């Protein structure tokens, strides 16, 4: 029987930025059917700024904070929140056991986790590995116990994400954006989350793009900057912002920019949801292909390597091809 009239729903996804970004549409779709429901998103410290951007999420819980409590304290705390439905989007044994001990009435998870046999009373039978659906669409399978079975297309899911609560951009970063040029972000690393294109190709692309038309911004963490900062060309239109922004400011800067180029990593998904020109570099290799992991958004351009490389890295896409696609895309606007 479908779950009727839920009042408080927790969506649990405690992994990376891209995964969380592709989970946000669940909240919007739930609100469409149950407009008065309270939606809590259980994430972690690193991804909280992404979750805050969704207008459909009413409250955020941080798993690393909850973990600091004793098991007894965790159970009592969870019991006090009057939750009636808990959705395990990213299965974690410790969270599933906690929710079961807190006697939350409706516990939803995939049937493909053995520990869900004892911890979930709604187990949805589907597999991610061999599915042809996009990751954001696969997440929606877990809404079947709520009577939500339709799978919207990617354009509709972009709207359901509710990615509207964007942080304000600090003046020192905003001043770098030139309204007379195309402000393009080059995010060349991925913290190991994707097959990368290669720092050398990003640098070659930066040299090749017209200096009079493009302002180029290299972004990344402080540790990632060690791979490219010292090799960046000394050009007036190239800026190294690596290690200078927290995630809130990166979201704000991406939102204010005109485009971003990256492999399948978190900033690519932020760019897609920000509705700027989003150039995604992908391999056709399953399950890493764009059909599964392309960013949501209405200005997404997929650039895929045509021939599988014998090596796992880097992606074998010609720099000249990427440059042509970028220039042609901006020339059309």
Q: Which of 256, 258, 263, 267 is nearest to 20 (CA)?
A: 267
Question: Structure pTM?
Answer: 0.95
Strand residue runs (E) in 89-220: 106-110, 122-124, 182-187, 214-219
Find out whether 40 and 61 touch, Cβ atoms under 8 Å.
yes
Longest CA–CA span in the chain (Å) reads 64
Residue 288: predicted pLDDT = 87
Contacts of residue 326, defined as CB under 8 A and 6 or more positions apart, other chains included, come to: 184, 205, 209, 259, 261, 279
Q: How many other C-beta atoms are found inside a 10 Å radius of the C-beta of residue 1?
A: 6
Residue 6: predicted pLDDT = 97
The Cα–Cα gap between 281 and 290 comes to: 9
Helices 319-331, 199-208: inter-axial angle, 10-degree rounding: 50
Residue 312: predicted pLDDT = 55
Element (H, E) at 10: strand 8-12
Strand pairing partners for 59? 40
CA angle 190, 195, 248 (to 5 degrees): 20
Q: Is 197 left (phi over 0), alpha (psi -120 to 50) or beta?
A: alpha
Superfamily of domain 173-331: Glycogen Phosphorylase B; (3.40.50.2000)
Residue boundaries of the structural domains of the chain: 8-160, 173-331
Find out whether 49 and 248 touch, Cβ atoms under 8 Å.
yes
pLDDT by position in tens, the chain (length 333): 789 999 999 999 999 999 999 999 999 999 999 999 999 999 999 999 999 999 999 999 999 999 999 999 999 999 999 999 999 999 999 999 999 999 999 999 999 999 999 999 999 998 887 788 999 999 999 999 999 999 999 999 999 999 999 999 999 999 999 999 999 999 999 887 788 999 999 999 999 999 999 999 999 999 999 989 999 999 999 999 999 999 999 999 999 999 999 999 999 999 999 999 999 999 998 888 999 999 999 999 999 998 655 555 678 899 999 999 999 999 987
Domains 8-160 and 173-331 share a fold: yes
Strand residue runs (E) in 178-221: 182-187, 214-219
The CATH number of the domain covering residues in 8-160: 3.40.50.2000
């Amino acid at each position: 029987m479908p779950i009727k009239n839920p009042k408080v729903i927790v969506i649990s996804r405690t992994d990376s930025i891209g995964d969380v970004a592709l989970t946000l549409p669940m909240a919007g779709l739930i609100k469409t059917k149950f407009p008065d429901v309270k939606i809590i998103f259980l994430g972690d410290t690193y991804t909280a700024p992404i979750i805050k951007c969704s207008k459909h999420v009413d409250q955020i819980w941080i798993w690393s904070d909850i973990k600091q409590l004793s098991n007894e304290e965790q159970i009592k705390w969870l019991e006090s929140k009057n939750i009636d439905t808990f959705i395990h989007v990213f299965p974690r044994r410790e969270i599933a056991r906690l929710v079961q001990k807190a006697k939350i009435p409706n516990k939803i998870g995939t049937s493909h986790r053995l520990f869900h046999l004892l911890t979930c009373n709604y187990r949805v039978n589907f597999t991610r590995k061999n599915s042809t659906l996009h990751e954001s669409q696969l997440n929606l399978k877990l809404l079947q116990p709520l009577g939500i079975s339709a799978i919207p297309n990617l354009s509709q899911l972009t709207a359901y994400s509710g990615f509207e609560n964007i942080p304000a951009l600090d003046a020192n970063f905003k001043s770098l954006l030139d309204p007379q040029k195309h402000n393009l972000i080059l995010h060349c690393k991925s913290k190991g989350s994707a097959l990368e294109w290669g720092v050398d190709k990003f640098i070659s692309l930066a040299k090749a793009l017209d200096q009079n038309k493009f302002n180029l911004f290299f972004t990344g963490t402080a540790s990632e900057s060690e791979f490219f900062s010292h090799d960046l060309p000394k050009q007036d239109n190239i800026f190294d912002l690596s290690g200078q922004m927290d995630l809130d400011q990166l979201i704000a800067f991406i939102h204010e920019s005109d485009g971003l180029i990256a492999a399948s990593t978190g900033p690519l998904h932020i760019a897609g949801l920000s509705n700027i020109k989003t150039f995604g570099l992908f391999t056709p290799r399953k399950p890493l292909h764009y059909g599964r992991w392309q960013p949501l958004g209405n200005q997404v351009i997929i650039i895929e390597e045509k021939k599988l490389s014998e090596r796992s890295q880097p992606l074998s896409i010609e720099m000249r091809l990427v440059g042509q696609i970028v220039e042609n895309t901006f020339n059309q606007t």
